[in-house]
């Protein structure tokens, strides 16, 4: 896929004055208007076509027209000529075994990071820290323990600052479904406090689709006690 015809028109629609509308199919030829949208970001991804053959595609990210986004979000937007000048990183296309599932290439991971950043509104889920150069898109259920579909499921991701990411990745902290932090007994409370972890932290915007991943993470977490 390249930025030609419809892809280019969609990418550049804000600058060219064209409008994008989202409709939902109601069946029997009927559609329902949902919202007017604006493209805020895009990126390359390897995906399967209708014949099950791996191909290179484009993922577009949208927001409702008129919705405010933090200035940090603008750092995500790709340069307009990236696809015209880069050879899609062919070496990162998955091998035949990996092609049986969803893509787990570096290209796919890059788009996944963008999804997580947008999902968590450009800030650490715990602290609200919003420097995207520092924040880490973590998997709740570890990559090695996930299926290909789970690896690219935005609900299996959380955006964290480095300290919380390291502790979460090593299962020294976890979170309840309602968002309260859980501290492992493997580290003394005083040691947690030395690195700024108080034990009163809470994530306020988990959704029900995060819960199955959190439950599995807590299972691994409690094994460490």
Phi, psi of 115 (to 5 degrees): -60, -45
DSSP letter string over 136-198?
EEEESS-GGGS-HHHHT-GGGEEEE-HHHHHHHHTTSEEE-TT-BEEE-TTS-HHHHHHTT--
Q: For the segment 82-134, what is each residue's pLDDT rounded down to a tens digit?
A: 333 333 333 344 444 444 444 333 444 578 888 899 999 999 999 999 998 89
pLDDT of residue 85: 36
pTM: 0.69
CA distance 115 to 94: 20
The three-state secondary structure class of 115 is: helix
Q: Do residues 35 and 64 lie in contact, with contact meaning Cβ atoms separated by under 8 Å? A: yes
Sign of CA dihedral 187, 189, 192, 197: positive
> What pLDDT, on a 0 to 100 scale, did the predictor assign at position 211?
97
pLDDT at 157: 95
3-state secondary structure of 45: strand
The pLDDT tens digits along the chain (225 residues) read: 678 888 899 989 989 999 999 999 999 889 999 999 998 888 777 777 788 777 778 888 888 998 877 766 666 654 433 333 333 333 344 444 444 444 333 444 578 888 899 999 999 999 999 998 899 998 999 888 888 889 889 999 999 999 999 999 999 999 999 999 999 999 999 999 999 999 999 999 999 999 999 999 998 875 544
| Nearest-angstrom CA–CA distance, 215 and 160 | 18
- The per-residue pLDDT for 140 is 95
Residue 46: how many CB atoms within 10 A of its CB?
Answer: 23
The secondary element (H helix, E strand) that includes residue 24 is strand 20-27
In the numeric block, the tokens 């919202």 are attached to: 35
């Amino acid at each position: 896929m390249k930025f030609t015809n419809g892809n280019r028109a969609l990418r550049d629609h804000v600058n060219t004055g064209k409008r994008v509308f989202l409709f939902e199919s109601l069946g029997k030829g009927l559609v329902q208007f949902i919202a007017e949208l604006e493209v805020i970001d895009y990126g390359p991804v390897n995906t399967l076509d209708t014949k099950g053959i791996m191909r290179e595609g484009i993922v577009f990210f949208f927001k409702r027209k008129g919705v405010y986004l933090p200035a940090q979000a603008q750092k995500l937007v790709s340069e307009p000529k990236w696809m015209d000048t880069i050879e899609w990183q062919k070496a990162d296309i998955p091998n035949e075994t990996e092609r049986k599932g969803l893509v787990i290439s570096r290209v796919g991971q890059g788009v996944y990071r963008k999804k997580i950043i947008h999902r968590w509104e450009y800030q650490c889920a715990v602290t609200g820290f919003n420097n995207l150069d520092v924040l880490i898109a973590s998997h709740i259920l570890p990559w090695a323990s996930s299926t290909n579909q789970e690896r690219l499921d935005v609900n299996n991701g959380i955006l964290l600052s480095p300290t919380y990411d390291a502790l979460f990745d090593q299962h020294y902290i976890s979170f309840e479904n309602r968002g309260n932090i859980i501290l492992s007994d493997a580290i003394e409370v005083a040691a947690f406090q030395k690195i700024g972890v108080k034990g009163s932290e809470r994530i306020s915007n988990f959704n029900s689709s995060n819960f199955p991943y959190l439950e599995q993470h807590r299972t691994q977490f409690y094994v460490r006690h």
